[in-house]
Structures are given as structure tokens and as C-alpha cells.
Structure 1
Amino acid sequence: MNGTFDLGAIGAGLAFADSLAGLEAALAAGGLAATAVVQAPPGTGKTTLVPPLLANRLLANVAARSKLVGKGVVVTQPRRVAVRAAARRLADLDGSRLGDRVGYTVRGERRAGPATLVEFVTPGILLRRLLADPGLEAAGAVILDEVHERGLETDLLLGMLAEVRQLRGDLTLVAMSATVDAPRFAALIGDHDGVGPAPVVDSPSALHPLDVEWSPAPVPRLDGRGVTRGFLDHVADTAAAAHSQSTAGTDSLVFVPGAREVTLVAARVRGRAGPGTEVLELHGQAGPAEQDRAVSGRGPGDRPRIIVSTDLAESSLTVPGVRLVIDSGLTREPRRDASRGMSGLVTVSCSRASAEQRAGRAARQGPGKVVRCYDQRSYAAAPAHVTPEIMVADLTAAALILACWGSPGGQGLTFPDSPPGPAMEEAAELLRELGAVGPDGFATAFGRILAGIPADPRLARALLDGGGAVGHRTAAETVAAVSGDQRATGADLVSLIKTLRNGTGPAARRWSEDVRRMEDIARQEGSRMGRSLFAVPVPGAEAVGAVVALAFPDRVARRVAGEGPERYLLSSGTRAGLPAGSGLSGHEWLAVAEVSRAQGRDAAGTGAVIRGAAPISSDTAEAAARHLLTDTLEARFSQGRVTARRERRLGAIPLGSTPVRPSVEEGRAAVARALESEGLDTIGWSTAAENLRRRLALLRRELGDPWPDVSEPALLARLDTWLRPELEALAGGAATSAIDLTEPLRRLLPWPAAARLVNWHPNGWRCPAVRR
């Protein structure tokens, strides 16, 4: 049919071409609202072939043509790099110009138009479209790719789109996975009217023989500061040596956990591999041209390549021509530490499933080899599958999306894994404090505005509130820097922003685009509270810190006196250290944007390290976190006397302590606390009082009532009965040296039985020698 995709030409040489007929049949059985799960290993061509197949299906359905005019296929990819690469590849194979029949949209960039039939997007883009158009009327089909990666936003889409299908009778939904967990997703997206789970379409593995070699490093992979430099050197040396020994013309793919490690390993490989090998970097911060170069096939006359990559190339991207894989066995995953109020990415061993996918990249086009830079014991100890992000990540943004969707906490939606209750409750409470949700849990009008800003809700709130205090431009620059991919050297956000302002690379350009977009949002929505938060104008040197403090008042930090220039106490109560050599060392106050678990030198011995911060003054700290300010009088009973001090705190941070005279009520409470924790020995027993107490205890034991119980618990339970006058004296400032417990004990004597005390238990007697 005119305008359809030529699947024969597009699928030439792709393993998934053999599964197209099975997928067509499965979709045909489901009608316009069909569902299916595609299970195929990375590199088989499912991302290239399934979208145009669905587009052809929409175009060919003549009966529904009038309803489908203008409706295309939306395909999610978990990363921006993968979105661009998938769109470019399909457009190239289709012979069309990128942005016409095949397009893409990522944050800050869109190449698509009215004629676009297949559009690749990130999950975040599709989530925001759903909030703006809950029926997703512009789409005829949605494909969720790489669902096995268990990204938080993709999990949310699985639940929300399953609900959309119940409202629409003409939306096709396909989930694609590279692992064997397909039946789970089939049950999740299948027909909820009793028809059963979605059909699963498998693709035969395209793997050729694979040789596995183990090459553990002589040094640890990780220490308290992250990936060790010695291990990265081992990975680089192993890659260079293995590449030199491989078949002539072989391309190699090296997996390391993050962009920093990519740069370090690539630099060392260049020094080892020689001029006959091209070394490329592939990660989210690389420029589009460099990314395209890495994921494109090697042309005639091109040098053999070593591509050093993050897990981008694990399943989201296919790197053609690879026959050798070098695997560090490490990855970055989000983690949330509720007790310390920290969240962020941590470096951990990759799952066994991820290790197998990485290894499989070497055997897609012929016999291959994987060299694992760790031992078999570490492989066996790794988790079987990746940890779902919904189980370990900060859920604030997710909770806001669900509140805007009309399902607070995910009520009524089905996810692959339900979000943890405590984490969701904590997120909901934070959103209530921000004014983003109401008491009923549903989003407020302000919450919907925050949900439309591509940043954490706390940063979105700071963007709007901070604009009036520091200017919309500065607020936008700060929020864009904190929410971006760049890591601040020495944790110094001010220096990072200066570098980005003056930079010309892809990271700087992407940041500038984010700044422009966020500045427009801040100006359109207006400053909500920013003009009233600070009593005096914020100095320019503190502008960045002021915005960060507005976003994260629980992370305002003060240097701990007497413990060095790098140790800080956060208002949440967490102690954290600056990285060694940070230019922020010695500042009295910091506004902290990111803090994560760490040990060793970078944490200054605190167990947590500050990753991003900016200096502020005490006035700015108190203004931004004013709801954490407390002014309390604390009375204590110690060393025989009641004393009191007035304490000012910003959360857990002490601001000042002044001695004051306590009131009688405060003194009485202090004495009661001391007696409860330390007992009556706090006051002390005189010899006479101890003697009387022992006599009464004996009579109680031998005769019972009416003689009183003078054990410690019994006496403490009846303080008002026998010790009230003395307690009042102590509360008023009297010293314990002026208190004798003998007379108070006599108040417990039972009358008239007390008259016989000397008979039942005399203090002494006269002996024949007339001595007492």
C-alpha cells in the first residue's frame, strides 16, 4: 500500500524478520485494541521492525481509517541516546528524512511533524503527554521497549496505559523485553475483561558460539570512593590486550558503569592500543555526533574500533560489528536511604541477566568472545535480575504523576511490582508540604504545574519560588544544573554552573536548552512565594545556594566546629563530608543538593559524601528552612540542681544556647525525668533515711498491709503522695544536699499501726550492761 513501510527491505538480515508473521497474527486476533509482548534478545531487530509493522497495520485498517487519521505509533526508549539512535536507524533503512515519517522527541529536542508515523520518545515525555491528554488520542499504538530494565517511568507507563486501554477501544499496546520474564508483562497488559494475558511472540536467538574468559583484577573493583583506579586500569589493559590478540578487523565493546569511568578507561586504552585502532566513547553525556559514530557500522577502510560504553549498549543500543566484549561487571543503580534522607546512584555488581546480555553482544553476527574482569564467584553471587527502580528509588516525582493521574499512591493501577508503602507515604507527605497534593491525595492546581516541569518536584517548586528572590535566569540555571547529568567537581555547584555557561560541548548546549525552557516556565507561571521568603535580598554569591536550600531545606548544612573544614551536619541530622580537596571546604554554611553513602577519604569519616552544594549564609539558611526553626527551653536536673538553657535549632543544627532560669513547671518536669531515668539515688539516701526504709521493707515483707511498699518502682509511682514538698523545692532551685528523705518516708507510715513501729522493729535495745 502506498505510504507503508517496506518491511522486507528494513528487515533484511535481522533475526526478528522471521517472527514478523507471528506478531502480525497475534495482533490481528486482538483487533484495534490488540496487545502483545515481544520477547527477543538484544540485536535481533525488534526495535527496528516492530514499530513500522504497527504503523503499516494502522494504515491498512480501512474500516477504522477515519478514526485513525493522524494517529501514529509512539515508541519509548529508556534513554535519550537510544531514542535518537533508533529513530535515525529506522529513517535510514526507510530511506526517508529524519523528522518526516520517522521522528523522535526528547527533553528539549523534537524532530517530528504532522506526517510522522513512528515517533521514538523517552518514557518521561510519554508520561507528560498522558497527563496532558489522558486518552492519548494522538496515538494509535504504543510500544514500550526494554521493559525488562524495570525503569521507574516505564513501570508507571505499564500501569497507566493498561488503564487507558480500558477507556479506548482502538489503542494497540505492545511491550518488548530482552529477557524471559515476558509472561509477567503479558498478564499485566493483557485484556482485563477475562480474555486472558497478551500473546507472547518469541524471536529465536541469533547467538553464535561464545567463548567466555575470566580475568579477575589483582585489586578490588570497589572501595569506599567507588570504582578503584587500579581496577579501571586493569579493564583498560585487558581490553587493549584482548583487542590486539583478536581476529584482524574485530570491533570491541567495553562495559563500565558510568561516564567518568568511560572517559578514564578510553584514555588509557588509547595509550595502549596504538594509532591503528579507533577508541570511541558511548554514554549519555557524549555529543550526538560521537554517539552516532559509536553506534554506526564501520565503513570500508575504517580502523578497527574499541567502543567504551556504559550499559547503554547492553540492550538499548546495538553496536554493529562487535565480536569481542570486555565486561567490568559493574553498573549504576538508584538507591534511597530513608533514614538519612539520601538518594542517588550507587555502583554495584550487575545482575547475571545483564552480564549475559552484555556477553551476547559479541555473538550476534558470528562467533565471539567475552572477557569478564572478575571471577566466577562474583558472577554467581550477583543478583539474578536487575533491581526494579520502583523498589529502591525516591518516589516523590512518581507520586506526583500518580496524584495527577487520579490514582494517589497508585490506587487502582497494576504495576510489575507495587511501590513500597513507606516510601510512597513519605513521598506523599513531602508533596503535601509542597502544596502539590491536597488532604485527599489528589493533585492541586499547583501540583499540576509542578508536574509539567521536567525536574524533581522539590526543584520545580524552587524554580518558581526562587525566581522572585534571585531572578528567573539564575533559578533556571541552578535547577537545570542540579537535575542534569553533570557531576560537580569537588561538589561545587557554583563552579559547575560557571563551566557550563562558558562551555561549548554537548553537555553545555543541553544545559543551555534546559535553562531556556525552565526560565520560560518560571516567567509564565510567576513567582509563587519567592519574594516573601527572604527578608532581605539574597547576595549574588549566595543565589545558587538559596535556590538549592529552597528545594532541599532538610539538606541545609553547617560545618561541625572542631572537626575540620570538611565535616558538616545537615538539618536532617545526617553528618556528611566534602570530597577531599573541595573548594567548598571551610564555608560555615552550605546548601546541599546531593548527598550519598560513602566511606573513606571522600566522606571525611562521616559515612556520607556531599556530591553537590553551594555556599550560603546563616540568614539564607534560616529563611529557606524557616519551618525547621525551633526555639525551646530545656531544663535538666543534674549534679543535684535544676538548670536550664534556651536552645535555638535549625532542624538538627544547633544555632545557639543561652542559660536561663527555669520556671517551677519546667523544673518539676526536669526532676521527674531525672528520677524516672536515674531513680531516687539522684537525690540520695541519708543514713537515717536508709535505715527507716529498710525497717519498713522488713515489715512489709513479714506483715504485709498496711505497711507500705518502699521498693524503688513503688516509691517512684507515688511521688506526689510522699515527696511533693521536696519536689517543689528542687524544682524551685533547691539543691539535693538540702533534702533528707527520712521525713518524707514518715509520711508513708500507716496510722494507727505506725505507733507500733518501735515494737515491731525497734531501732535498738538495751543490753544488760545498760548500753543501748
Structure 2
Amino acid sequence: MRHDSLPIRHVLAELLAVLDGHGSAVLTAPPGTGKTTVVPLALAEAGMRVLVAEPRRLAVRAAAQRMGVSYSIRGERHVGANPMVEVVTTGVLLQRLQRDQELAGVDAVMLDECHERHLDADTALAFLLDVRDTLRPDLRLLATSATADAEPWSRLIGGPVVAATGATHPVETVWAPPARPVAPPHGLRVDPALLSHVASVVRRALAERDGDVLCFLPGVGEIAKVAGMLDGVEVLQVHGQAPAHVQDAVLAPGSARRVVLATSVAESSLTVPGVRVVVDSGLAREPRTDHARGLGSLTTVRVSKASAGQRAGRAGREAAGTVYRCWSAADHERLADHARPEIALADLTGFALQAACWGTPDASGLALLDPPPPAAMSAAARTLEALGALDGASRVDGASRVDGASRVDGASRVTDRGRRMALAGVHPRLARALLDLGPRAAEVVALLSEQLPRDAGDDLVAVWRAARRGGTGFAARWRQEAGRLRRTAAQAHDATPPAPHTEHIPHGRTPDDEVAGLAVALAFPERVARRRGGGYLMASGTQAQLPEGSKLHTAPWLAIAIADRPTGSASARIRQAVEIDEETARLAHPTTTEHEITWHVPPGGRHGDVLARTVERLGAIELSATPLKDADVREAILYGLRTEPDVLTWTKQARELRDRLAFCHRAVGAPWPSMDALIDLADQWLEPELSRARRRADLERIDVAAALKRLIPWSERLEQAAPERIEVPSGSHVRVDYSGDQPVLAVKLQELFGLQETPEISGVPVLVHLLSPAGRPVAVTADLASFWRDGYRSVRAELRGRYPKHPWPEDPLTAPPTRRTKERRP
């Protein structure tokens, strides 16, 4: 292949010199300059064996075919004419590094499109930097980026930036927003009106410009919908699920004009011949992980400015081109500059296992542009411990460098089982099922290791049987991956000790349902679910719902393979599942048996009661419960008293006594106790009733008034400190109300004639409520002397007319107090 016509030729000499002098470099080059295919061959011509890592399988095959070199992707290897260069996915590179840290026979590694910030690429670079620092100082490292923001990479990799500019073809931007507002994306939902608009923009581009059209859409479903709106033109659909023959057709020049509908896989590392026009929907898909529930999903987001620039560049790879952006220039200014790196968004279980196998379980020893989020790493560690990949040792503060072992303070963190899981080439969850069940699980694991067709139903066994029938691109890929996993399982299964909770799994011939159920349950033990009400309760505690009309809705137990939680929904949505039985659930997820003694309020109820039982649980799922006799229920009783004060029968007598005691505490203080925290004093006043209480009814029968008397200090007399009644001048003994902040004496005005000073209790003046002969309040005072002097005259004038038979003397201080009317004259 000749490279003297491509812009990259101007920096090849500089790049080789930098690599010779520093051992590492960052190469920035715009799309179409030849960095992906020219640079590896130039390094090979300089005598180096080169390993090129690409983020996507599609890019691996395309680059290898253009260079005529070997390539390796998961489950497929091709030997090319040039033995000096091999192209691999970053996932394959990670597997090689775990097997052979020295990368024997490799002189240089080129990580292409590092600006995309895929997790595997970030991890591979961190491992390579570790290898270079400790084992292979001669290993040359080259990171390439299509964006100019390379300084962070330069600092990380320890090498200068080599910038290739060259002549680039101009790309005209046409702003083509919808005429009417469309709904923003929500979860996986894209407004159909936007898709209709994108299709109309494609038709407009075909009419206004020459050349093939490359249209970017967020996902497979949107590609299919837009394809259905385009007639009279050849349409190719490019995505991660596209069969090899479609990928080959896209990479070959077409005989007629074409429209290529693609996801983000076509943003970089890929030249589609003949493309002069790009139509960009402005949308992409990003992972989202609910670490608390162990659920992951994809969500539709606006592209970043950097991604939009990458997409536009596809139109200018071979000649001047045009990009039609389905949004306005004003909206473009509001886009984020860069997409968030995958390490900040994704499930980190696989990354955590790779890091643990490398010798740094918390990833603190890895050179990463962005550290992994602590919550995501903690969730990943818990998952790996449950899968038997980590030994559950105490959390770490540091780790050894590359030395063939994973050590922290002398203790191994990753198990032998975990190492085999890491080398299986699938997610650790799926590797667990493969190791436990052996080759018979290969087909199910292969099914779950690929993105299922968008029309796949929720019954995973039915999807499996459809794949066996073949006839689709997915089925062909599935069969190839199943073969690879079958070989991997056969090599690893015999050498892997069974997990303690799976040693009783039968290993003979079993029906599809049993194999699928076991595999899914072992891979996702926290998603084992039991039917409850109209849905299912997972072992994780998350509620889940099947789609309407699902044939699985009668299953008492499910092993849920794929589930997500729609934005704003409290329940998970079951995408694919298998019916299982309780025995399978128990094999996959450890059960616990514990004594449960609580104060339990039933759902929707207002009143609780003591619940004492022995409960067997599978995670959050209750399997069985039996009453627990002779249990110590004291703490439950106390909790009930704290949360439901009305559980005690507070008679009027009890309330009045409590109020009197509270007054004594306010007025006198010690040794009178406070009534604000009666439950804290339960040992003093509720014994022995508390020791005998077993349930709510026992509490309701307690004589609270009698019990409260136990709080009266032995050295005090309640009648002296807070008398129940006070004798007034008329001779009546009137009850005092202590329920307020100040004691209240409600008495008929005439019974206080002659009383000059306000009565006091424990030094506190009472608040006198003066009543009419009918018992209605006519005045309130805390100063009787002032009332007789200033207020009595107006009250007397009013009451004389209303109650003429009662005495209303002009001088109340000299009049005799009375409870009666005037004496009748003979």
C-alpha cells in the first residue's frame, strides 16, 4: 500500500523519531489522513512488529482488509499477507495482556481512536503503561486521536504530541432542524416525528447533493424505522449486529447510489467509500447503571460537539462534502464539548475483575485519565465476591505492580476461579455460569453475550430456539460464539472447582429450560425473582414487571437475564427471562435463616404488633416463616411504644396524672422526672408489666395511671407539689388543669369573693378562668388583685342583667363568697 499521497506522510519521519527517542507518542490527525492504515505499515517497514487495537470489530476488519494484514476479534482470526502487523479489538488485547504481560514478539502497540474513551481502551493503555514501566521498557506505545485535545494523553503516556494536519476536504454545514418542536429523547424512546424528519432530510440530501449519504441514528430500532421510510434507493444498515456480508458491502464501493444508516460505530476508524453527505440526527446511546439495583440500560442522549465534528468529518474523507444537522446552530452551541468517558457511566464489574487480576483490585495503581467512581467500584466488588471471583478480603489502599500475582498486604484478592472468569472473554457474570455448568451452558452464554435482536421476545428459551433454527445474521454470529465458548468451557470446566453453592447442580442431559434457567440464575443471582401480586420481586429487593401479554406471567419463579428501569419508574422492566423453580433459585442464590423480632405494621395498616418468627430468605424474597416462641420481644415492645404512643390506654385519670408530673418537673425540677421521654424511663414505671408483655393487647391492658405513680420520687408528695384540687373561699375544692404551660383554675367568679391574691402552686401563679353562674368563661387573669380593681366593674354590669338572681356586690373583696343565688326575702 502506498502512503505518499496521504497527509499523514508529512509526519511519519517525526513520529518514528519521537518513538525512538521517547518510546511513546500521541498522534493527532483529522479523519481521512491515513493514521489508521498508513502508520502501522510505516512502523512495520521500520522493522517493528505492530499490534493495532481498535475499539470496534467492524473497524478491525476494515483496517485489516485495507492493509492486507492479520486480524483477531472475539471468536475469529484471519491471517494476512503481512506478518508484521495484526489488528485486534481492545477486548482481545486485554485478554492477551492477562495471558502474556510481556507481549512477547510485539515491538509496538498502537491504540487507535483513544479519544472515544471506551473502557477497554482506557484499561488496555493503563496496563500497557504498567508493562512498559516494569517489564518492557523497550515497548513502544502510540495513542492516536482524531481530535486535537491531546495534552492529557501526552501527560499520561509520557510522550510528545505529533500533529498531522495536511490537506483536508471542506465540509459544508447545513442546519436542518424540524419545522415544529419534537419531544426530547426519553430513555430509549425517540419521537417518531424526529425520525420522520431525519428521513425527509435524507431525501433532501439525495436531491441536493451528489454521492452516497451516511446517516447517523442512535440505535438499531431507529435505523430500521428510517429505512422503512426510504424508497427507490439502496439502503445499508450498519450497527454492531450487522452481519459480516453487510459490513463488507459498506466498505466496498457501490455501483449505485447508496444510503448508509449507521449508529456511532461509523464515527471513526472507518471510511465508507463514496460518502459525500452526512445526515446527523444528533442523537447517540450511552450506558446508564443503577448500582443500587444492579440494573443497567442504555439511554438516548444528545451528541457532544466533538462527536458531531467526528460525524461531519465522514463527509470529507475523500472529497468536499456536506453535513446536514437535524438541529439548529443555536442548539449546537448548547451541546457538551465532549461525551462523558465510559468509565464514568458503565457497569464496572468486568473492569474491576481485570484490575484485580492485574494486581490492583481498587484500580488505584492504574494510570487512568479518569478514576473509576467509588460507588461503581464498590458495587462491582460486591458482585465479584458473590460470583466467587474475589475472596472478599478487606478493602485495600494499595496493590502490587505487575508481578504475576494480585496481592494486597500479602493477601490474594482474586481467586483462581476469578482468573479463569477473566480469561473467558465474556462478562464475569456469564463466565460464572460457563464455569459452573461447563460446555452445556455455552449456547445460553453466547446468547447473552451479544445484543439480542430488537424483535426478541421476553422468553429467552424461545429466543434460543429461534437462534438454533438459523437464517439470520444474529444466528450466525451466535453459533460462532457458542462454538468458541464451548471450547473455552471444555478447557476450563474440569480444572475449576465447583462453587460451594453449585456443587449439587446435575450435570447430565437436561431440557433447554433447565439449562437456560440455571445459566441465567447463576449469572444474575440477584435477579432471581418470585411472583408477588401482579409482578415479581427480585432477590435484590427490586420490583419487576413483565410486558403485557407475556407467556411467562404464570411462572412462580423467574431467572431474569435482561432488565432495565425506565426513567422515573420504581419497578424494573423485564426484557428477557426464563421460568425456573425454587430449587434452581436456591442453587443460584444463598439463603439465610434468621430470627426476626420486630414491631410490624402491615402494609396499609395503622396499628402494629409484635412479630416474632424464624424467617428463611433468598435475598429480599421470603421463602418461609414460623412463629418464634419464648423470644425476647422487649426491644420490639419498646419500639412500638416509641412509634405508637396511643398503644397504651391513656384514660382521663392517666392523662391528668401525667400532666401533674410534667408540671412538677417544670416548676420544681429534680428529682421530678421529665415526661418528654417516658419510654426512656420505661424501666422505672412500666415494670413488671413490660416484662410480661408479649403483644399489643398486653400493652393496651396496662393501668397507665397506676404505673405512672411509680415515677413520683419517694421523698416527695404529689399533693403538695401539684394538688389535684384547690380549696377556694366558697369552700369548694376545684380541680386544677395542668395540661398547659401554666396550671389553670376554672371557677365561678362568685366563689372567689374576698380572695385578694392569686393562688400559687409550687411558686407558680395559677391562671384563673372566671366563670359565669352558667359555667361560661367571662374573664381570664393571673392577677386577681388587678382584676378586682380594674376589670370587675364591667363584668359585674354585664352579669347583673343576665343573672339577676345572683349576688353582684359593688365591693367583691368584702362580700361573702357563695355558690348559690340570693336568699329569698319572706
* 1:639-654 equivalent positions in 2, closer than 5 A: 639=607, 642=610, 644=612, 647-654=615-622
Residues 763 and 327 (structure 1), Cα distance of their counterparts in 2 relative to 1, 3 Å cut: same
Contact 2:390 2:414 in 1 (8 A): yes
CA distance in 2, matches of 1:669, 1:733: 13
Paired residue for 1:532?
Answer: 503
* 1:381-420 equivalent positions in 2, closer than 5 A: 381-420=334-373
Paired residue for 2:559?
Answer: 591
* 1:110-125 equivalent positions in 2, closer than 5 A: 110-112=77-79, 116-125=83-92
Deviates more, 1:127-136 or 1:483-492: 483-492
Paired residue for 1:79?
Answer: 56
Contact 1:36 1:175 in 2 (8 A): yes
Are 2:390 and 1:437 equivalent residues in the alignment? yes
Cα deviation per residue 1:121-142 (whole Å; 9 max; x = unaligned)? 0001111111111111220100
Are 2:333 and 1:380 equivalent residues in the alignment? yes
CA distance in 2, matches of 1:429, 1:144: 31
Cα deviation per residue 1:691-712 (whole Å; 9 max; x = unaligned)? 2222222222222222222x22
SS in 2 for 1:340: coil
Query: Given the alignment, which residue of 212, 215, 230 partners 2:177?
Result: 215
CA distance in 2, matches of 1:626, 1:570: 14
Contact 1:40 1:178 in 2 (8 A): yes
Paired AA for residue 127 in structure 2: M
SS in 2 for 1:626: coil
Paired residue for 2:227?
Answer: 266
Contact 1:644 1:662 in 2 (8 A): yes
Residues 497 and 140 (structure 1), Cα distance of their counterparts in 2 relative to 1, 3 Å cut: same
The gaps in structure 2 that reach 5 residues or longer are 394-410, 734-826
Residues 599 and 733 (structure 1), Cα distance of their counterparts in 2 relative to 1, 3 Å cut: closer
Query: Given the alignment, which residue of 378, 391, 396 partners 1:425?
Result: 378
Are 2:474 and 1:498 equivalent residues in the alignment? no
CA distance in 2, matches of 1:414, 1:536: 43
* 1:465-480 equivalent positions in 2, closer than 5 A: 465-467=436-438, 472-473=439-440, 475-480=441-446
Are 2:681 and 1:728 equivalent residues in the alignment? no
Paired residue for 1:616?
Answer: 580
Query: Given the alignment, which residue of 486, 489, 509 partners 2:452?
Result: 486
CA distance in 2, matches of 1:640, 1:130: 59
Paired residue for 2:647?
Answer: 682
CA distance in 1, matches of 2:575, 2:140: 43
The Cα shift of 1:640 comes to: 8.2
Deviates more, 1:514-523 or 1:198-207: 198-207
Query: Given the alignment, which residue of 545, 548, 564 partners 2:520?
Result: 548
The Cα shift of 1:291 comes to: 0.8
Contact 2:30 2:164 in 1 (8 A): no
Paired residue for 2:532?
Answer: 560
Paired AA for residue 700 in structure 1: H
The Cα shift of 1:718 comes to: 1.7
Paired AA for residue 557 in structure 2: W
Paired residue for 2:261?
Answer: 308
* 1:61-76 equivalent positions in 2, closer than 5 A: 72-76=49-53
CA distance in 1, matches of 2:26, 2:381: 33
CA distance in 1, matches of 2:542, 2:108: 47
CA distance in 1, matches of 2:523, 2:179: 42
* 1:653-692 equivalent positions in 2, closer than 5 A: 653-656=621-624, 660=627, 662-666=629-633, 668-679=634-645, 681-692=646-657
SS in 2 for 1:312: helix
Residues 572 and 677 (structure 1), Cα distance of their counterparts in 2 relative to 1, 3 Å cut: same
Residues 568 and 234 (structure 1), Cα distance of their counterparts in 2 relative to 1, 3 Å cut: farther
Contact 1:664 1:728 in 2 (8 A): no
The Cα shift of 1:35 comes to: 0.9
Query: Given the alignment, which residue of 576, 589, 592 partners 1:625?
Result: 589
Residues 624 and 15 (structure 1), Cα distance of their counterparts in 2 relative to 1, 3 Å cut: same
Are 2:119 and 1:163 equivalent residues in the alignment? no
Are 2:113 and 1:146 equivalent residues in the alignment? yes
Paired residue for 1:64?
Answer: none
Contact 1:251 1:304 in 2 (8 A): yes
Are 2:2 and 1:10 equivalent residues in the alignment? yes
Contact 1:217 1:231 in 2 (8 A): no
CA RMSD in angstroms, aligned pairs only: 2.6
Query: Given the alignment, which residue of 56, 66, 73 partners 2:45?
Result: 56
Residues 724 and 429 (structure 1), Cα distance of their counterparts in 2 relative to 1, 3 Å cut: same
Cα deviation per residue 1:561-597 (whole Å; 9 max; x = unaligned)? 1x3xxx3322212223334444434433221112123
The Cα shift of 1:556 comes to: 1.2
The Cα shift of 1:234 comes to: 2.5
CA distance in 2, matches of 1:103, 1:319: 21
Query: Given the alignment, which residue of 686, 689, 704 partners 2:669?
Result: 704
Paired residue for 1:40?
Answer: 29
Deviates more, 1:759-768 or 1:722-731: 759-768
Cα deviation per residue 1:622-656 (whole Å; 9 max; x = unaligned)? 33223367674555488586454655443223445
Residues 633 and 502 (structure 1), Cα distance of their counterparts in 2 relative to 1, 3 Å cut: farther
* 1:247-396 equivalent positions in 2, closer than 5 A: 247=210, 250-269=211-230, 271=231, 274=232, 277-298=233-254, 302-396=255-349
Contact 2:608 2:640 in 1 (8 A): no
Paired residue for 1:184?
Answer: 152
* 1:739-754 equivalent positions in 2, closer than 5 A: 739-754=702-717
CA distance in 2, matches of 1:643, 1:286: 57
Residues 54 and 215 (structure 1), Cα distance of their counterparts in 2 relative to 1, 3 Å cut: same
Contact 1:262 1:309 in 2 (8 A): yes
Deviates more, 1:451-460 or 1:716-725: 716-725
CA distance in 1, matches of 2:562, 2:173: 42
Cα deviation per residue 1:146-172 (whole Å; 9 max; x = unaligned)? 100000010011111111112223211
SS in 1 for 2:352: helix
Residues 237 and 657 (structure 1), Cα distance of their counterparts in 2 relative to 1, 3 Å cut: farther
Query: Given the alignment, which residue of 676, 680, 689 partners 1:717?
Result: 680
SS in 1 for 2:474: helix
Paired AA for residue 343 in structure 1: G
Cα deviation per residue 1:62-90 (whole Å; 9 max; x = unaligned)? xxxxxxxxxx1000010111000000011
Determine which structure has the larger helix proportion and give its number: 1
CA distance in 2, matches of 1:687, 1:52: 96
Contact 1:408 1:441 in 2 (8 A): no
Residues 519 and 141 (structure 1), Cα distance of their counterparts in 2 relative to 1, 3 Å cut: same
Contact 2:171 2:312 in 1 (8 A): no
Greater gyration radius: 2
CA distance in 2, matches of 1:649, 1:258: 40
The two structures have a TM-score, normalised by structure 1, of: 0.85
SS in 2 for 1:136: coil
Residues 768 and 635 (structure 1), Cα distance of their counterparts in 2 relative to 1, 3 Å cut: closer
Contact 2:289 2:346 in 1 (8 A): yes
Deviates more, 1:144-153 or 1:734-743: 734-743
SS in 1 for 2:688: helix
Matched residue count: 703
Paired AA for residue 394 in structure 1: D
Residues 661 and 109 (structure 1), Cα distance of their counterparts in 2 relative to 1, 3 Å cut: closer
Paired residue for 1:449?
Answer: 420
Paired AA for residue 429 in structure 1: R
The gaps in structure 1 that reach 5 residues or longer are 1-8, 60-71, 92-101, 191-196
Contact 1:211 1:368 in 2 (8 A): no
Contact 1:325 1:358 in 2 (8 A): yes
Paired AA for residue 663 in structure 2: L
CA distance in 2, matches of 1:607, 1:216: 34
Residues 220 and 699 (structure 1), Cα distance of their counterparts in 2 relative to 1, 3 Å cut: closer
Contact 2:384 2:390 in 1 (8 A): yes
Contact 2:429 2:523 in 1 (8 A): yes
CA distance in 1, matches of 2:30, 2:548: 43
Contact 1:254 1:308 in 2 (8 A): yes
Contact 2:54 2:112 in 1 (8 A): yes
